[in-house]
């Protein structure tokens, strides 16, 4: 049973792999993991309760309580998986022919296997912890690279806006020198606005600036509509025939 759990836990925690030259994959949602410590604690509880039931059964056997022996052994069996036919046949044969020395040898082998299993479990806990740390480092690197790519995209876009602003400003300077300041100065101002656009957009005050600009446009629109309506009223009054 522990072997199957170990395989499942290793699969969930992720295995160590050799570094690859291929680009790192995109970050994905972390799946629900089974905590290794929780599983280990559950197995420890099962082992302890089985051992306790067997101990009580032995005490009841010594006290001549066969019913208690049967009940405690049934409780212990409920915590354990069904034995294989081979192991069951081996145990039956041992119970029929084994000597006290044979039983002592079996107990020593069982104790050695238990010790080896505990050592392997401790190594597995270390391996899983190392794998989790490696996965966390990989995910952090993916996030870092994604942020770097986004920054490069923003820098490239800002450079395009800057070049466009410089081009318009140059045209404005030429227009100011060879045509008229009325034509060139607005172009110079437009060039500066174009070059500053990406920095204004990234500013934390952009929402307030955009809102204020929209409000000013709305007020101007209302004023223009009001002024046009007033002019029409005055014009109709002037054109009305006098009595």
Q: What is the pLDDT of residues 33-87, one digit of tens each?
A: 456 667 777 888 888 999 999 999 899 999 999 999 999 999 999 998 888 999 8
- What's residue 34's pLDDT? 53
- What's residue 103's pLDDT? 87
Q: Is the pLDDT of residue 228 over 70?
A: yes
Do 172 and 191 form a contact (C-beta atoms < 8 A)? yes
Buried b vs exposed e over 173-209: b needs ≥16 C-beta within 10 Å? eebbeeeeeeebeebbeebeebbebbeeeeeeeeeee
Compute the average pLDDT of residues 172-189: 81
Between 30 and 85, whose confidence is greater? Answer: 85
Q: Report the mean per-residue pLDDT for the chain.
A: 78
Do 55 and 63 form a contact (C-beta atoms < 8 A)? no
Cβ contacts of 54 within 8 Å, gap of 6 or more? 72, 73, 76
- What's residue 7's pLDDT? 33
Share of the chain above pLDDT 70, in %: 77
Q: pLDDT digits over 102-146, tens only?
A: 889 988 998 998 899 889 888 988 888 888 899 999 999 999 999
- What's residue 159's pLDDT? 85
Share of the chain above pLDDT 90, in %: 19
Q: How confident is the model at residue 13 (pLDDT cuts 50, 70, 90)?
A: very low
- The 3-state secondary structure of the chain reads CHHHHHHHHHHHHCCCCCCCCCCCCCCCCCCCCCCHHHHHHHHHHHHHHHHHHHHHHHHHHHCCCHHHHHHHHHHHHHCCCCCCHHHHHHHHHHHHHCCHHHHHHHHHHHHHHHHHHHHHHHHHHHHHHHHHHHHHHHHHHHHHHHHHHHHHHHHHHHHHHHHHHHHHHHHHHHHHHHCCHHHHHHHHHHHHHHHHHHHHHHCCCHHHHHHHHHHHHHHHHHHHHHHHHHHHHHHHHHHCCCC
Compute the average pLDDT of residues 4-17: 36
Place of tokens 């080896």: 116
Least confident of 26-40, 148-162, 172-186, 210-224: 26-40
Q: How confident is the model at residue 238 (pLDDT cuts 50, 70, 90)?
A: low
Q: Is the pLDDT of residue 19 over 70?
A: no
Q: Which sign does the torsion angle of CA 7, 8, 11, 15 carry?
A: negative
Do 79 and 46 form a contact (C-beta atoms < 8 A)? yes
């Amino acid at each position: 049973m522990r072997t199957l759990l170990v395989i499942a836990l290793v699969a969930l925690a992720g295995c160590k792999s050799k570094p690859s030259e291929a680009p790192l994959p995109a970050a994905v949602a972390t799946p629900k993991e089974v905590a290794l410590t929780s599983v280990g604690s559950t197995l420890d509880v099962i082992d302890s309760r089985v051992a306790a039931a067997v101990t009580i059964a032995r005490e009841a056997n010594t006290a001549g309580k066969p019913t208690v022996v049967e009940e405690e052994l049934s409780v212990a069996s409920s915590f354990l998986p069904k034995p294989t036919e081979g192991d069951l046949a081996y145990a039956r044969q041992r119970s029929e022919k084994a000597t006290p020395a044979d039983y002592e040898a079996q107990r020593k082998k069982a104790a050695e296997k238990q010790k080896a299993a505990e050592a392997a479990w401790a190594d597995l806990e270390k391996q899983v912890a190392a794998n989790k740390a490696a996965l966390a480092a990989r995910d952090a690197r993916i996030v870092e690279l994604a942020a770097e790519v986004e920054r490069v995209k923003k820098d490239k876009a800002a450079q395009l806006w800057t070049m466009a602003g410089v081009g318009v400003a140059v045209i404005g300077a030429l227009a100011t020198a060879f045509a008229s300041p009325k034509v060139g100065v607005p172009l110079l101002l437009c060039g500066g606005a174009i070059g500053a656009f990406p920095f204004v957009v990234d500013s934390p005050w952009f929402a307030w600036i955009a809102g204020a600009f929209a409000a000013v446009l709305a007020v101007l629109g209302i004023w223009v509509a009001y002024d046009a309506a007033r002019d029409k009223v005055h014009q109709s009054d002037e054109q009305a025939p006098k009595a």
